[in-house]
A and B are shown apart, each in its own frame.
Chain A
């Protein structure tokens, strides 16, 4: 009973926040709604006794990805009126694509394959069950190869992102901290011994 109330509460939160993401006008509000949606999803995962995934979702998406998102969105000076121009003209096309997407998604993950009678509710885990340990075992034994492959893909993506944004030709007068931290006192300061001024 309590579980059902919690489930519907979290689901309602996720759906409401998701709707807010695409309907609110202010992009900062949209990003913050997405944060709320992530929290709702984390709550749902927590109810599936997947506490590692739930906390990792908050840690990675809310704690890092969305911070950078907000960072960018706050710096943009978005003129919403310009963005909304021609909205009415494109509505028919948008509706056609939305319906197509809806139909294809329903066909793939709809009730034909994922109705409640196909997917039994998982039995509640015993109190000693450690989701983190179970996940680690699975990742480093059964799914070791896909795990390593994903790591390599991520590494390639990081290198590509750095290579795309690195500009060698940029001539700046920015100071080089690696040289600055090596400065010793003797490079900058000369102590001069002087006699005190004499009274004549």
Chain B
């Protein structure tokens, strides 16, 4: 498809064509992502509703079709938020107050540049992809602390301080879990990491790196400020935390950033521990004529795995009560950090001695 576009746009200068194609790819990634975010909010309310034995949103239908009752809810929500006024509080720092949602959303979208959706489906196939992801997810906290400070509100400020301490703490456990992945795969490139999973279900890194997978995913939940680690919002303690003063679209952008980050963490868990686009079924099944392309590797497996981890995010929120702040800190520093360090040493030994079946012939 890239070749086709390049030949069609040959009358333009070559660098401009490259820029146009990259822009097009960005649109192809970001638009479905935004759609996913919108419908993830609906899925969240529906899933939690059913888990708590109620129905969830079931009033706004899509195009008046009776069967799709509730499916118009995200669109109605978006229209409502767009038509609301953005109130800048008295004594707030207007510039930082308005720029904070953008600072929160930017890294959440930029990190998608290196995510491998399929064998050749990556926007930027860079060598240090894992490091890039880690750097960008650690930038997400800026939006939160700038928002908390610029709001000139005690609740918002408390939420921001909690969030900053929490994200800095859990980033370390997260980073160490990723060190285990890169030791096992021998590469920082996310595509190479997925290729290292090749060989069927038993070769996925979720088996040898199981504790690191658990720690990565739990740290991911903490890093995105989701329940049960949502002390930065803590609506029963500090109203709504860092975004208590935000209304309308400014609030919606924070919401978009949070959900885009959730999808990102789920996608990365699928890529690094569950073989990304690879199929869990034996390779022989991919040879079957018609349904072979569904059973073989492909982007649909990546989407399926990501969707499962997203479901886990919602499941946690419906199941667990909120952690207390000091317990969160204890879990991060005194439980996760020692486990990851021990497991990195074990993985290092396994790689050196080429433990089969994962590390043989590396």
Interfacial residues, chain A to chain B (CB-CB below 8 A): 2, 28, 32, 35, 51-52, 55-56, 58-59, 62-64, 67-68, 70-71, 74-75, 130-132, 174-175, 177-178, 180-181
Contact = CB atoms under 8 A, between A and B. Distances in A.
Interface of B: 15, 96, 126-128, 131-132, 134-135, 138-139, 141-142, 145-146, 149, 157, 160-161, 164-165, 167-168, 171, 188, 324, 326-327, 330, 334
Contact of A70 (B145, B171, B324, B334): B145
A132 B139 CA distance: 21
A35 B141 CA distance: 13
B11 to A, nearest CB: 21
B164 A71 contact: yes
11 contacts: A32-B96, A56-B135, A63-B138, A63-B139, A64-B138, A64-B168, A64-B171, A67-B141, A74-B149, A177-B330, A181-B327
Contact of A51 (B15, B127, B134, B327): B127
A70 B167 CA distance: 14
Contacts of B160: 74
Of listed B139, B157, B161, residue having the most chain A CB within 10 A: B139
B264 to A, nearest CB: 16
Contacts of A62: 135, 138-139
A28 B149 contact: yes
B246 to A, nearest CB: 18
Given A74-B149, A130-B127, A177-B327, A55 B165 contact: no
Contacts of A35: 142
B138 A59 contact: yes
Contacts of A75: 161
A173 B286 CA distance: 63
Given A63-B135, A74-B145, A177-B330, 6 more contacts: A51-B126, A55-B132, A55-B135, A56-B131, A59-B134, A67-B164
